[in-house]
């Protein structure tokens, strides 16, 4: 596919989510992402240091950052921080072990 995987970690503000709930349910961000060539593989609310996580697939870091800007614009009053992290090597994905684990040495 020649695409890259990124993880977007989000901390939310203390602002109540009531106005955002319908946008989340309608998956408004999924359509916006697809319009710029970004696919959301996973979207989850979290308990811990971060409150929301996306796993996205994009052509490059530039498109991933465009997605983060869209997200920040759409949900600006409900978020305080957005961190973008690139997944450079998957050891195990969806329960399947990477058959090319030896290539991990190239990244370490």
Torsion of CA 55, 40, 44, 6, to 10 degrees: 10
Among 28-37, 66-75, 89-98, the least confident range? 28-37
Question: What pLDDT, on a 0 to 100 scale, did the predictor assign at position 9?
Answer: 97
d(C-alpha 35, C-alpha 33), whole Å: 5
What is the pLDDT at residue 25?
Answer: 74
- pLDDT value, residue 94: 84
In this prediction the pTM is 0.86
Residue 33: predicted pLDDT:
83
Higher-confidence residue: 19 or 95?
A: 95
Element holding 94 (H helix, E strand) = none
Query: Residue 38 — very low, low, confident or very high, per pLDDT cuts 50/70/90?
Result: very high
pLDDT digits (tens, 9 = 90+) for 52-69: 999 999 999 999 999 999
For each of the domains in the chain, give its residue range(s) and CATH number, in order of start: 4-107 (3.30.70.1030)
Question: Above 90 in pLDDT, residue 2?
Answer: no
- Strands (DSSP E) contained in 1-88 are 4-12, 39-45, 52-58, 79-87
């Amino acid at each position: 596919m020649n695409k890259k995987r990124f993880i977007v970690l989000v901390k939310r503000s203390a602002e109540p989510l009531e106005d955002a709930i319908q946008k989340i349910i309608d998956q408004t961000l999924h359509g916006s992402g697809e319009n710029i060539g970004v696919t959301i593989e996973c979207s989850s609310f979290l308990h811990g240091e971060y409150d929301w996580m996306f796993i996205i697939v994009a052509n490059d870091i530039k498109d991933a950052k465009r997605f983060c800007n869209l997200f920040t614009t759409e949900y600006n009053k409900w978020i305080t921080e957005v961190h973008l992290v690139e997944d450079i090597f998957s050891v195990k994905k969806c329960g399947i072990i990477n058959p090319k684990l030896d290539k991990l040495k190239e990244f370490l």
